[in-house]
Amino acid sequence: MKKQPSKSSKAAADVQETKAILNSMEAHLTYSISKYSALATTHDWYEIAARTARDRMAERWMETMQTYYRDDPKRVYYLSLEFLVGRTFSNAALNLELHGEFKQALHELGQNIEAVSEMEFDAGLGNGGLGRLAACFLDSMATLELPCYGYGIRYEYGMFHQKIEDGQQVEHPDNWLRYGNPWEFPRPEVLYPVKFHGRVVQFTSEDGTLRHHWVDTEEIMAMAYDTPVPGFGGKTVNNMRLWAAKSSRDFDLRYFNQGDYIQAVADKNASENLSKVLYPNDSTEMGKELRLKQQYFFVSASLQDILYRYKKHHATWDELPNKVAIQLNDTHPAISIAELMRLLVDIHGLGWDHAWNLTTRTFSYTNHTLMPEALETWKVSLFEAILPRHLEIIYAINFQFLRQVMHTFPGDNELLRRMSLIDENGDRRIRMAHLAIVGSHTVNGVAQLHTELMKSTIFSDFNRLWPGKILNMTNGITPRRWLNQANPALAELISANIGTGWIRNLDELQKLRALAKDAAFRKAFGAVKRANKERLAAMIEETLHIRVNPDSLFDIQIKRIHEYKRQLLNVLHVITLYNRIRQGTHPNTAPRTVIIGGKAAPGYVMAKRIIRLINNVAEIVNNDPLIGDRLKLLFIPNYNVSNAERIVPAADLSEQISTAGTEASGTGNMKLSLNGALTIGTLDGANIEIMEEVGEENFFLFGLTADEVARLRASGYNPWDYYHGNTELRQVLDMIASGYFSPDEPDRFQSIVDALLCHGDHYLLLADYASYVACQERVDALYCRPEEWLQKSILNVAGMGKFSSDRTIRQYAEQIWHVGPVPVC
């Protein structure tokens, strides 16, 4: 192995930089914390280190903003109701290429950088994949020096903290701002009013055109909080601007005139509830009034801010689409389309057609799911009460749109009904996905299969009307957080062998292919995995008081708990192994540690029941003397970004077992593969593309294809056939139903078995069971040949270049946004 000196793989920290960091930290100890060092807590040291890192971003941040102001390039605005950022300190230190220096400086102060980093609360302003994607994109946009801004909500409470009590999920509030947030800069002067409710009055202006006023509204103020987003190398530092709701009532004299001071303060609290809490639903919408208000709140503030910035350089609106690209992360911000029309037509006096032309050339929309329960719709009646003018605008858009459909496909009333922005079945509802498609110039899916299914199923009518409008942008993850930061030992090993170019250009990992045949490299690679497994085992022992064997196969499924993701299929396999071991029919292969982690939406009863089943099965399996060390099942509570950073580097096997056609892309699959896990997976989402890149021989494929799933469902799927046709499967289901795992309440899990046998097994677990179990046997066999396993593991890492979010963002920049890099000098 050749050693190559480079910034991030060198052992020694730069002496000058370390000294400067030490000086800054000592200054912050005195002037920011004001404590003697003997009294400073570990949290104080975190605060000091964070402020010191923040200082080092501030200048580049200001220079970046100044450059954008001066050059006035076309800017990209990424609108997302979620940003699942996680911790910032380590990431900032690494992206500034000062991690070694911080480590050394903290060491000289008697502190350990890992312990200090652990003090930081996760910024958990997202549910799962969609929010994490937004965070990875911000990192890539800054690294690629693109003039981009993230816009979202500064929730006071992010994703709930999950605890397991008596085997069940219990939600606790995530009070992440309790000790303040050193990364954000409040901007009390950046304040916009956002209106709700009221009514619309029509009048005819002097030039005879019909105009609309939205009057008698209630107002809430949106206040900006800015967070710097450093690209790798720290040259470009972009901005993430999150809005917090503030009462505008401070200035409302009515209350004081009425002498009702207490009511005035009470109302102030009520309006500030708007940005209080993140809705903890992943891939399901609940149609709650507060959620709609959150959406409009952040959209309205963001658009006012975007137009204000545009106006500083431009006298007319004609250049808007040449200067502004707005990406809608799912339909959550789709009301933007009606809001921009309102601003241009009602406030700035543009004609309808002119405004519509500008609007549709500005927006693009990313779809994240095909599942009907996840497609957002809002009751017309709710819209009418909260956003009456927007409802009128949506009707007007719909009128013109349906006229266009009618001209293109005359006489097809059924088509009009299907494509309308309004669902007229039952209570009338607004289809937000249809609004987003009609109001955007480009729509994208997030993996090849997903995009093809969008075009051939749910959006086939739109694809026929506007061929070419739907594009594919396969998701990616940032290698800075998911390899350089999460797995420093593997990052070091890779850099020592192929240099550090991979951090910016992940395709360079291909150079590892040759090294997969190098026994010395395999040994070093194996040692890194082994150390990461020991670290996870230590964490598990500390938190769960369960000892796991680091030599066992770490079989990992971490993601939101959802029926379509099929954690239950994983459990059926665990019970199968349990039975085989007890019956003496399991070959004496390597021991297995099955680890499952993920949160269930608080109102998703079946998902919570599955968590309970996992914990109850674990209780039996882990304490059975006949099983001993051969099989362990663990549920790791509170899966979040920081826990992912611990778990992912320790995985041997990545479970990506969703029913084919249901997972739009997945990004957890990419994180695990990038860290050397082999995937056991279905042909779903980005799994397909991962398999193409790493090679079929390095991927454990099982199960029905999306086509086969569709055909089986259409031809009348009968789960009982599988139950009667497979003795092992029947035994497993009978055990669950009979209370084997819940002796204190035997029918606790009856409903789970009923969902499979009596309610149609919608996600086809029974149809895929045999194929899955057989595939797991191949996994076991390979794990007993460690050199082969290691080779395949290395080839997985080597094949992951495509899944850098840098590649994804370059595609968006070229094919959708039409923007290029703006280097900051």
Q: Which stretch binds ligand PLP (CB under 6 A): 175-183, 200-208, 661-669, 808-816?
A: 661-669
Q: Which is nearer to ligand PLP, 121 or 409 (CB)?
A: 121
- Least separation in angstroms between CB 649 and ligand PLP: 13
CB-based burial label for 519 (10 Å; 0-12, 13-18, 19+): exposed
Distance between CA atoms of 401 and 20, rounded to whole angstroms? 61
Q: List the structure tokens of 768.
A: 């895929």
Per-residue contact flags (x/-) with ligand PLP for residues 545 to 584, judged by CB under 6 A: --------------xx------------------------
Distance between CA atoms of 380 and 164, rounded to whole angstroms? 39
- Least separation in angstroms between CB 229 and ligand PLP: 17
* CB distance 156 to 181 below 8 Å: no
- Least separation in angstroms between CB 49 and ligand PLP: 24
Q: Which stretch binds ligand PLP (CB under 6 A): 58-66, 172-180, 581-589, 636-644?
A: 636-644
Q: Which stretch binds ligand PLP (CB under 6 A): 375-383, 489-497, 664-672, 773-781?
A: 664-672
- Least separation in angstroms between CB 699 and ligand PLP: 16
- Least separation in angstroms between CB 670 and ligand PLP: 8
Q: Which is nearer to ligand PLP, 130 or 341 (CB)?
A: 130
- Least separation in angstroms between CB 176 and ligand PLP: 14
Q: Which stretch binds ligand PLP (CB under 6 A): 222-230, 520-528, 635-643, 750-758?
A: 635-643
Q: Which is nearer to ligand PLP, 359 or 673 (CB)?
A: 673
For 101-137, what is the HEC assignment? HHHHHHHHCCCCHHHHHCCCCCEEECCCHHHHHHHHH
Annotated active-site residue in 75, 154, 246, 368:
368
Per-residue contact flags (x/-) with ligand PLP for residues 500 to 539, judged by CB under 6 A: ----------------------------------------
Annotated active-site residue in 161, 481, 671, 802:
671
CB-based burial label for 159 (10 Å; 0-12, 13-18, 19+): buried
- Does residue 559 carry a catalytic annotation? yes
Q: Which is nearer to ligand PLP, 230 or 668 (CB)?
A: 668
Helix (H) or strand (E) holding 272: helix 261-272
- Least separation in angstroms between CB 421 and ligand PLP: 30
Q: Which is nearer to ligand PLP, 171 or 218 (CB)?
A: 171
Q: Which stretch binds ligand PLP (CB under 6 A): 9-17, 30-38, 87-95, 667-675?
A: 667-675
Distance between CA atoms of 639 and 560, rounded to whole angstroms? 8
* CB distance 367 to 458 below 8 Å: no
- Does residue 235 carry a catalytic annotation? no
DSSP 804: B
What phi and psi, each to the nearest 5 degrees, are found at residue 775?
-65, -40
Q: Which is nearer to ligand PLP, 222 or 648 (CB)?
A: 648
Q: At which residue do the structure tokens 């139903």 appear?
A: 737
Q: Which is nearer to ligand PLP, 299 or 644 (CB)?
A: 644
Binding to ligand PLP in span 215-274, by CB under 6 A: none
Give the distance from CA 760 to its chain's centroid.
30
In Å, how far are 182, 549, 643 from 648, measured between CA atoms?
Answer: 27, 17, 8
Annotated active-site residue in 360, 500, 667, 682:
667
- Does residue 667 carry a catalytic annotation? yes
* CB distance 507 to 801 below 8 Å: yes
- Least separation in angstroms between CB 557 and ligand PLP: 8
Q: Which is nearer to ligand PLP, 137 or 639 (CB)?
A: 639
- Least separation in angstroms between CB 132 and ligand PLP: 4
- Least separation in angstroms between CB 174 and ligand PLP: 13
* CB distance 222 to 243 below 8 Å: yes
* CB distance 48 to 33 below 8 Å: yes
Annotated active-site residue in 103, 560, 599, 632:
560
Q: Which stretch binds ligand PLP (CB under 6 A): 12-20, 386-394, 458-466, 662-670?
A: 662-670
3-state secondary structure of 561: coil
* CB distance 639 to 558 below 8 Å: yes
Binding to ligand PLP in span 106-135, by CB under 6 A: 128-129, 132
Q: At which residue do the structure tokens 């291909």 appear?
A: 510
Q: Does 640 bind ligand PLP (CB under 6 A)?
A: yes
- Least separation in angstroms between CB 641 and ligand PLP: 5
Q: Which stretch binds ligand PLP (CB under 6 A): 33-41, 288-296, 395-403, 639-647?
A: 639-647
In Å, how far are 171, 340, 604, 637 from 165, measured between CA atoms?
Answer: 10, 47, 17, 10
Complete DSSP assignment for 665-719: --SHHHHHHHTTPEEEE-S-TTHHHHHHHH-GGGSEE-S--HHHHHHHHHT---H
Distance between CA atoms of 219 and 154, rounded to whole angstroms? 18
Task: Give how many residues touch ligand PLP by CB under 6 A.
Answer: 13
Residues 6 or more apart whose CB falls under 8 angstroms from that of 30 comprise: none
Q: Which of 81, 223, 617, 641 binds ligand PLP (CB under 6 A)?
A: 641
Q: Which residue is nearest to ligand PLP (CB)?
A: 668
Q: Which is nearer to ligand PLP, 350 or 648 (CB)?
A: 648
What phi and psi, each to the nearest 5 degrees, are found at residue 797?
-60, -45
Find the distance separating the first CA and the last CA of the chain, reported in whole Å. Answer: 37
- Does residue 172 carry a catalytic annotation? no
Q: Which of 150, 668, 681, 799 binds ligand PLP (CB under 6 A)?
A: 668
Strand order of the sheet with strand 470-472?
185-196, 218-230, 237-247, 148-153, 75-79, 324-329, 363-366, 442-445, 470-472
Q: Which of 667, 679, 687, 804 binds ligand PLP (CB under 6 A)?
A: 667
Q: Which is nearer to ligand PLP, 94 or 493 (CB)?
A: 94
Of the candidates 246, 346, 343, 259, the one whose C-alpha atom is nearest the C-alpha of residue 297 is 246
Antiparallel, parallel or unpaired: β 75-79 and 324-329 = parallel
Q: Does 644 bind ligand PLP (CB under 6 A)?
A: yes
Query: What dihedral angle (degrees, nearest 10) is formed by the CA atoms of 13, 16, 22, 25?
Result: -110
Complete DSSP assignment for 627-639: TTTSEEEEEESS-
- Does residue 163 carry a catalytic annotation? no
Q: Which is nearer to ligand PLP, 28 or 599 (CB)?
A: 599
Alpha helix positions (H), 420-504: 432-438, 448-456, 460-465, 479, 488-498
Q: Which of 198, 439, 637, 666 binds ligand PLP (CB under 6 A)?
A: 666
Q: Which stretch binds ligand PLP (CB under 6 A): 22-30, 198-206, 412-420, 640-648?
A: 640-648
Q: Which stretch binds ligand PLP (CB under 6 A): 341-349, 442-450, 451-459, 634-642?
A: 634-642
- Least separation in angstroms between CB 569 and ligand PLP: 15
Q: Which is nearer to ligand PLP, 220 or 641 (CB)?
A: 641
Annotated active-site residue in 87, 249, 390, 565:
565
Annotated active-site residue in 559, 608, 612, 632:
559
Binding to ligand PLP in span 131-190, by CB under 6 A: 132
* CB distance 564 to 659 below 8 Å: yes
Q: Which is nearer to ligand PLP, 674 or 765 (CB)?
A: 674
Q: Does 481 bind ligand PLP (CB under 6 A)?
A: no
| Residues identified as active-site | 368, 559-560, 565, 667, 671
Can you give the binding site for ligand PLP, defined by CB under 6 A? 128-129, 132, 559-560, 639-641, 644, 666-668, 671
